[in-house]
Structure formats: structure tokens, C-alpha cells
Chains A and B, each alone.
Chain A
Amino acid sequence: MKKTVHVAEFTRLGGQVTELDPAEFIALPPPYDKMEKPPIRTLTDDQRKRMDTTLDGIVAVGLQPPATPEEEKAFIEKFLAGLEKLFSVEDNWTFLQPLMHTLEYCVKCQICSDACPVYVSSGRQDIYRPTMRPELFRRIVSTYVKKEHPLLRKIKGSDIELNWQTLARLAELAYRCTLCRRCAQVCLLGCDNALVSREIRKVFSQQMGIAPKEIHEKGSVQQLRVGSSTGMTPAALKDILEFTEEEIEAKLGRKIKIPVDKKGAEILLIHNAGEFIAWPENLEAFVIILDAAGVDWTLSSEIAGYDSINYGVWYDDVQFARVAIRQSQAAKSLGVRKISFGECGHAHKAGIVIADRVVAGDLNIPRESSLPLLEEIVMSGRIKLDPSRNDFPVTLHDPCNMVRLMGIVEPQRRILKKICPQFREMTPHGVENYCCGGGSGFAITQSTNFPDWRNSVSGRMKMKQVLDAFQDAPGPEVKKYVCAPCSNCKGQFRDMLDYYGAWEKSSIYYGGLVELIVNAMVDLKQPFIQWEWH
């Protein structure tokens, strides 16, 4: 019988709150049910000494234990000071109402648990219940911020004795939620336990300066410093675009000049700069389509203007606002009419929806998704397409940020139905989709054994969905394509398909939407999708 984990166990000094047992993870269909390697690497003794690993033996944040009792006290006090700010209008008007509502009105009915892919995939580990971290958080608030009477706390069951390790576990636990918000979608009371994960991350970042380095130092900080989280400077961008133009010429048989910093263009396309390096074919496909359709567009070479990412949306309001403002400034300086976001889910949500109440006045430049534009181009017949070129099984992954959190559901489907004869849906799909497992920064978090956890736990439900979608042709003899119109999701698919050996076992490949469009274009002599790149 599964051991029940109580909130009180988060305060226990030493020991791990939960031991993950891969045998309990949800089953994948054969041959994926028998992994040849241990699903999650065990941390070394040295890593265990340097970082707190007492939540579940996985490390995303990796807080270093305090050296002295004074250090521990100072840490706790600083955290509690930050916690108070979370409930002030001045410091947290941005999310005060949704946060207060969830903390006040969640009845812990557990209806959200079965909606959570992490909880279900893990074999229903209590620590991953969407209600667990808010409950731990709520007790800290009740005891140390509201300072409720001890008797009342006993009646409400909200008493807690805080120590450093509890906070270290809370910080880690906030990074075991992909912020996919499936839990919030099923809540009849309008509560949003995923938001609590984000707000916990926010206290750690905005108050303590603590966040996974891939998200903060190498992410938003690097983007603000050099222009992109990839480290790509404007000069490097120029080189990459020249290379892209050469690649396009080789594939298309003619040269296309990629417009950069074109004043007065109709559209500023902000692409995820990670694509330029990891999946240059995605940018190439955009260039080919926009050129063929005669769209007046440009890229920007200004700081943050050529990278659509905005990691602040996952953990830090200030970092978020900085990037959003710089992206708008890039558009303003070019005098474009609108900003269009490329295939990147979190950039969509951040740049179009969240930034909506951060940028104002002349920085409030109209922003939209590139998917409706692509749909318009495909459906209008402006480019000639031959669907038989895409006559292989294709399924669609719905990036949470774009679909459940933004309501962009059908344009990508209408395109796929037109150009992919063997298109099939996953179950469930659309706004009820499952996260790829790499959401909220997980796809870029590569330290210690976190990628193993991401692939074997948080991405497991998606892996199962993909395999189920292709169950009519499970073997490697038929090439199959997972269309993921999101850079982060693609990063997760790249790692996850490799982790499970999905190319070798099933010939499952992944890529974006525009690649499929270009692959169907009659202008191209050779197929655009290069399967051997798996």
C-alpha cells in the first residue's frame, strides 16, 4: 500500500520526503514498458552534500544548506519578509487577487489531482498533488504572516514549525509543477493551484534571488545582457541569418534576403532565438512562407527584439516586465504596425496576453500569434501546396500556453487537416491537452538528474499520448511526425524521444508546423523535412 505523505513531513529534518519508485510510474505500451537504463540517475554523495535533495532526490534549484544557525535564521527571515510582500498591493498587484482567492477558497477536494499529469504519471505520489504545495504554503502564511492564534491553527490544521529544510523542499516543489494549469481548469471554485507554484517561485526569485540558473542567470539575465538567452549577440545573429539564407538557397534553389531592422515594415516577427541554433529549419520555413506569400515583415537585431522568450512569466514579474518592454521598444523603434510571435508557446502567452497589462501607451503595439496569419496564407492559396508530400502519420501537440491559456486551438488544426492526409488527434487534445512535460522552464533545465525526472515523470503522460496516437503503426518501418508548434515543447520532445529511443523503436520524429507547410510546397524540389536529423 502506498505510503501517505503528510504536510508535516516537509518540516522533518533530514531524510527524503518521498522515494520515487519507477515501478509505480504509469505504464507505457511495449516496448517502452521495459527501459534498459534506470529511469532516474541517483545523485552522488558530493551532490547530496552540496545541495538539498531531501524532497524527492531530484534537483532543479539545489539550495546550498546554511553553514551556521545564524545563516539559517537570516534565510528564513528574509523569506518570510518576501512572503508578506506577496500579499501587498504595492508589491504584488500583478497576481494578488488570483492568489488570495486560491489560498482562501481551495477546499482541498483533490479533484485537481487526477487532472495533473505529474501526479498521475508518478504513480500518484502525494507530494505532487496540486494541493500539496499550496497547503504547505498556506500553513506557513497562517502561522508566520497572518500569525493566527495557535488554537485557531489547530482547529484549521494549519500549524507549522518552519526550518530551512522546509523552505528548501518548498523551493524544489515549486519546480515540480509545469504550470500547465490543468488543475485550475477542473476546479469548480475557480482556484488555481498552479499559480501558487509560480508565486512561490516568485518569492524565492524577487526576494531571495534564488531560481534555477538556466531560467535566471543563463535565461532572462543573459537575454537582457546580450539579447538572447542563447548568448547570441546581434553580431552572431547576423552570421546565423547569413547561414540561414545559404541553407534556404540550397533547398529552394533561389536566394531570399531575410529582412532585418526594416523600418516601417508591416510585421515584426519575434522568433524564439533558440530555434536559430537548435532548429534552424523552423526559421527557414518561416522565411520561405512569408516570402512566397509576399508578406511585408522584418526581424529585429535589438536586445530582446530577436528573441521572443520571456522566462519571467514562469518565476519573476520584474524580469518579465523588462523583457516585455524591450520587445515592444524594438517594435516601436522600427515603426512596425504589429508584432507577430513565431512558434513558441510561452512567448505567445507572455508577449500577447500577460504583457497586455504591463506595456501601455505607445509601447502597447498590437501583438498577435503567427498561427492565424499562417492559416490565412495556407487557406488563401497564396502558396501552392501538395498534401501528398506529407503523406505520413502526423499528430499535433497542443502547447499549453498557446491553447489552454490563450484559446488558439483551431488555426493549426485547419492547416494540418489541409496539408497532412494522415493527421490524427491525441487523446485528450485542444484545451484539455497534456503538457509536454517541459513547461515552465523544465525543458531548458538540464542540471543534475532533473532531465531524467522530466523525461520519466513530467513528460510521461505526453509520451504515452504520442505512442497511443500512432498505435496503428507502432514499429520503425513507418516514419511519424509529432507537430509541436513551440520551441520549449520541441526541446522536451527532442530529449524525451531520445531518452526513450523513440526513433529507433518507432521512427517518431518531431518538428514545428511551418516545416510541414514548406514540406508540402510544390516549389521545393526536395522534401524539406529531413528525417535523418532525428
Chain B
Amino acid sequence: MGTLIVVLTYIAYVFIVVVYSVKIVAWLRMPPHIRWDLYPVIHEEHYRYGGSYYEQPEWWTKPRPRNTWRSLLYSLKDNFYMGEYYERNRLYWLFLLPWHLGFIFIITFHVLCFFAAAAMVAGLDIAAGSAQLAGKGFYYLLLITGGIAFVTGTFGSMGMPIVRLADRGLRNFSMPMNYFNYLFFLVVYGSGLLAWLFLDPTLDEYRTYWVGLITLTPPELHPVTILHIVLFDLFLIYLPFTRSTHYITRILAYFFIRWDDEPNLRGSALEKRILGLLQQKISWEGKHIPKGKSWVEAAIESGLPEKK
């Protein structure tokens, strides 16, 4: 069994990293689009009221200061707050936020487990009573992140189907997959919660498991912990088939669509790319669009019927 979970865990992590990467690269490789910005654009100087550089006369002669860090923080902040939901549907927010926090914290917990295990292999003693500060720090950090993940994830997974069924709009747009997800995630988080509360309150078994992964030594664990780990591995394999990439793509959409206010200045690299795209042939069949022509050729023609 120990060997199985080592192999399964490696497969799960490799799978999720590869599929997520493929999805994100595919997203990024799509061609530049027509500008479709939406204000406020957070990197703009006057983002507080939604102002843009177009508020200045001859904007192209003026500097366009942009604060990318502010944009990044803004886009990350909502992963932990979800303000629009708080403002507009408080009940939904009450379950949705914990549900998402469960996901963020369980991933964080496992990443920290990896570093903790690596430190243990290097000789660090991780325990509440460790003589080493880093050992104590890791111990409590793991306890906090793991605890939050199991509690919020379980709470959110229980509440989400209830609120979805209770809300007319949400219910109408629900699909069988939504309810499967809630159930599956409840089992994943719930098994972790049970293992933590009743079998492994110090989360020592996780460190043993991660040391086993790093040293390729099959760990000896309690069956409930093993059950949780297997479920978690399946969870990782399943995630790429859901819309979960939105944790990342939502940030990409902010930066590359909503806040993309980069002007197409003469002689710029962007202009070169646009010129290339405009040379592509189009195949639309509307009568006002000429057959077999490129974008540029179609745009130069008026599309009007020829005079007889």
C-alpha cells in the first residue's frame, strides 16, 4: 500500500502540473485580440475612480505610468476575499469562500509538507517541542494550513449544494457535475478532517508520508490517512477536468483582456503582429464579405454590390 501511494502521488502531481501547464500555455498562445478593456484598470494612475490615460489631451505624448504590483495584488486578493460575492450574494459567499479557501490551503499545506519533509531529511526536527525554531515554525504552519484546509473545505463542500439548490438562479444553471464535485470534494476534505481530528492531531503522518515520497521509501500509515491521501491524489488528477484552472486564468484574463490597454503605436512589436494577423484569409460567407480575401483586402473593399 505504501508503494502504491508513493507512485500514485507522483503520477497525480506530474499529471496536474502537465495538464495545467498545457492549458495555460494554450491560453497564452492565443493571438492578440482587439482591445476590450474594462475600467477600472488597476495599473492605471487614476484606477480609484476608473480613469484612463485617455483623460489627457494628446495622451500619446504623455507618460503612461502603470503599477503592475498593484494589479497583481488586486487580482490575488480576490482569491481570499471574493468581495463581489460578499456584496451581492452573502449566503452564497458564506459557503463559496470556505470552499475555495479549502482548495488554496490544502495545496499550500501539501507544498509546505514537501519543504518540511525535505528539511527533515536534512536533519530538522519538526515538532511542537522542537529545540529548533524552524522546526517549531514548520510544525505550527502545517497545523494551521492543514487545519484551515480540512475545516473550510468540509464546511464549504457541505454548504455549496444546499445553497445551490436553495437559490433559483443557481439551481437553474446547475449541472450534474456540480453536485458530483461537491460530493467528491466533501469526501476528500472530510476524510482529511477525520484523520486529523481523531487519528493524527499533530499531522505527523503527513510528514512521514512526504519523507517517504522524497526518499522513495513506502511509508507506514493508518488506513484512514491512506484513504485520504489516495482520495487527494484522485482529486489532483480530477481537477484539470474541472474549471479549476480559473485560479490562474482569471488573473491572465485580468492582465491580458480586461486591463490590456496597451496602445498599438507605430513601429511597435504589437503593430507587426497585428499586421500579420490582418493578412490572414477569412472564410465568412455573408454577402457583404468577399470570398477568399484577407482581412485587409476585405476591409479595403466597401462590400457594396457592384453597379450594373
User: Which A residues fall within an 8 A CB radius of B?
Assistant: 2, 4-6, 78, 81-82, 85, 89-91, 93-98, 100-101, 104-105, 107-111, 113-115, 126, 129, 131, 135, 154-158, 181, 184-192, 195, 205-209, 221, 224-225, 316-319, 321-322, 325, 338, 352-354, 356-358, 360-361, 364, 366, 368-369, 371-373, 375-376, 403-411, 430-431
Contact = CB atoms under 8 A, between A and B. Distances in A.
Contacts of B277: 93
B176 A405 contact: no
Contacts of B172: 4-6, 126
Contacts of B59: 368, 372
Given A186-B84, A190-B257, A369 B31 contact: no
Given A110-B170, A357-B34, A410-B49, A90 B257 contact: no
Given A360-B278, A404-B50, A206 B34 contact: no
Contact of A89 (B261, B280, B301): B280
B289 A318 contact: yes
7 contacts: A97-B32, A126-B172, A185-B38, A321-B299, A353-B35, A368-B54, A408-B52
A440 B175 CA distance: 32
A135 B174 CA distance: 11
B201 interface: no
Contact of B299 (A131, A190, A322, A375): A322
Interface in B249-302: 249-254, 256-258, 261, 263-266, 270-271, 274-275, 277-278, 280-289, 295, 298-302
B302 A224 contact: yes
A94 B35 contact: no
Given A319-B288, A407-B44, 20 more contacts: A93-B31, A101-B27, A101-B249, A107-B246, A111-B84, A155-B177, A156-B175, A190-B257, A206-B285, A206-B289, A207-B284, A318-B289, A318-B298, A321-B298, A322-B301, A338-B58, A403-B50, A407-B50, A409-B49, A409-B51
Interface stretch (B85-93, B102-110, B206-214): B85-93
B51 to A, nearest CB: 5
Interface of B: 27, 30-41, 44, 46, 49-60, 78, 82, 84-85, 88-89, 92, 96, 167-177, 180, 243, 245-246, 249-254, 256-258, 261, 263-266, 270-271, 274-275, 277-278, 280-289, 295, 298-304
Interface of A is mostly: helix
B168 A4 contact: yes
B250 A189 contact: yes
The 4 A-B pairs of least Cβ separation, nearest first, read: A407-B52, A190-B253, A157-B175, A431-B50
A108 B303 CA distance: 39
A145 to B, nearest CB: 15
A323 to B, nearest CB: 9
Contacts of B254: 190
A81 B284 CA distance: 9
Contact of B54 (A6, A135, A154, A408): A408
Given A110-B167, A186-B84, A410-B49, A195 B40 contact: no
Given A93-B33, A322-B299, A360 B264 contact: yes
Nearest to B262: A356
B283 A85 contact: yes
A368 B246 CA distance: 35
B307 to A, nearest CB: 11
B284 A409 contact: no
B282 to A, nearest CB: 5
Contact of A209 (B246, B286, B298): B286
B174 A157 contact: yes
A242 B77 CA distance: 58
Contacts of B270: 357
A206 B92 contact: no
Contacts of A407: 37, 39-41, 44, 46, 50-55, 261
Nearest to B251: A190
A209 B287 contact: yes
B35 A430 contact: no
A96 B33 contact: yes
A131 B280 contact: no
B57 A373 contact: yes
A347 to B, nearest CB: 14
A33 B213 CA distance: 70
Given A368-B54, A409-B49, A155 B175 contact: yes
Nearest to B53: A407
Given A89-B31, A352-B54, A407-B51, A364 B264 contact: yes
Nearest to B253: A190
A65 to B, nearest CB: 21
Nearest to A78: B285
B287 A404 contact: no
A18 B89 CA distance: 25
Nearest to B254: A190
Most buried by B among A100, A357, A410: A357
A366 B258 contact: no
A78 B287 CA distance: 13
B78 A188 contact: yes
Nearest to A204: B286
Given A96-B30, A98-B33, A190 B49 contact: no
Contacts of B250: 105, 188-190
Contacts of A373: 57
B35 to A, nearest CB: 5
B246 A95 contact: no
Nearest to A338: B58
Contacts of B84: 111, 186-188
B73 to A, nearest CB: 15
Given A105-B249, A189-B253, A407-B51, A366 B176 contact: no
Contacts of A109: 85, 92, 96, 170
Nearest to A402: B54
Contacts of A354: 34-35
Contacts of A409: 39, 46, 49-51, 55
Nearest to A359: B264
Given A110-B169, A157-B175, A221-B304, A410 B46 contact: yes
B52 A406 contact: yes
B303 A322 contact: yes
Given A105-B243, A110-B167, A91 B35 contact: no
Contacts of B175: 155-158
B248 to A, nearest CB: 10
B173 A405 contact: no
A110 B173 contact: yes
A476 B284 CA distance: 54
Contacts of B257: 97-98, 101, 190, 192
A191 B252 CA distance: 11
B55 A410 contact: yes
A517 to B, nearest CB: 16
A319 B301 CA distance: 10
Contact of B243 (A104, A186, A190): A104
B285 A81 contact: yes
Contacts of A206: 284-286, 289
